[in-house]
Amino acid sequence: MFVAYKYSPSDFFYNNNLNPYLTKGTELYNEHKKTVRNCLSKFISSDGIVNGSELRENWFSVETTDVFISHSHKDISKVKAFAGWLYDRFGLTSFIDSCVWGYCDDLLHEIDKKYCYQQESGTYNYSLRNYTTSHVHMMLSTALVETMNRSECILFFNTPNSIVMKKELSLISNKESKKTMSPWIFYELTMISKIKRMKPDRRKSILSHAEYEKRDLINIQYDVSKIIDDIPTIGDKQLIEWSKTHNQWHHPLDELYKIMGDI
């Protein structure tokens, strides 16, 4: 990882600039999701085999991407459109994190149905459920952080669906504090501050990129105020400038970093 930005897309920019790319973004997302599921199914199977070492060693067979996008599942349409825009406009590939955590529940359901369900009581064994969940979550967390580390740019969709203001949750305190109710978002935001920043090496190829459900959940909240505040904000204005100034003679991310003052 070299840089991380937080982004809050406006309805105007989404409707006029991003939405036309939703079909392409959905296509890319479905292809990537299939690749991710095939990889994870091989090393975390419904047979209960969780091979952490093999997963870590083979995870990079999943396409290394330019941009890692962290988001709430409620923003998936906007994220897909954004990924389609990045691909068509700049030739940049995106890893949408829900490719991993969106598969987590399906995978756990298969494992738990086979190993944790108690036929006589019609319930799941609590201890076994904790055991399977901890293992699968640990493996997926490892896969996520490896992908973040390999991605050059991390983009956090900073919307009300990801971050909830404390004043909207309770009237007890007047102190505003940014909260997230997603453990995956909390994990990814925390990792942003831990991963070593590495400046990209463009010597290998400069022009290569020119070719190039709604569920009821327990509301567990994580305070991410400091992490969010430390991540630079990228806005629609910068994205529009990036799109207008892009040319095939420069790597598109270098152009973005220049606009953002990172190089």
| CA atoms of 247 and 219, how far apart (whole Å) | 46
Which pLDDT score, from 0 to 100, does residue 165 have?
Answer: 43
Which pLDDT score, from 0 to 100, does residue 48 have?
Answer: 58
Which pLDDT score, from 0 to 100, does residue 60 have?
Answer: 53
DSSP string, 87-149: HHHH---EEETHHHHHHHHHHHHHHHHHHTEETTTTEE-HHHHHHHHHHHHHHHHHHHHHHHH
Residues of the chain with pLDDT under 50: 165-177, 179-181, 205-220
Q: Are 210 and 248 in contact (CB under 8 A)?
A: yes
Q: Which domain holds residue 254?
A: 3-260
Which pLDDT score, from 0 to 100, does residue 50 have?
Answer: 64
Strand bridging mode 123-124 / 153-157: unpaired
Which pLDDT score, from 0 to 100, does residue 15 have?
Answer: 94
**Overall number of domains in the chain:** 1
| CA atoms of 46 and 31, how far apart (whole Å) | 22
* pTM of the model as a whole: 0.78
Q: Which amino acid is at 229?
A: D
Strand bridging mode 222-223 / 178-180: antiparallel
Which pLDDT score, from 0 to 100, does residue 168 have?
Answer: 38
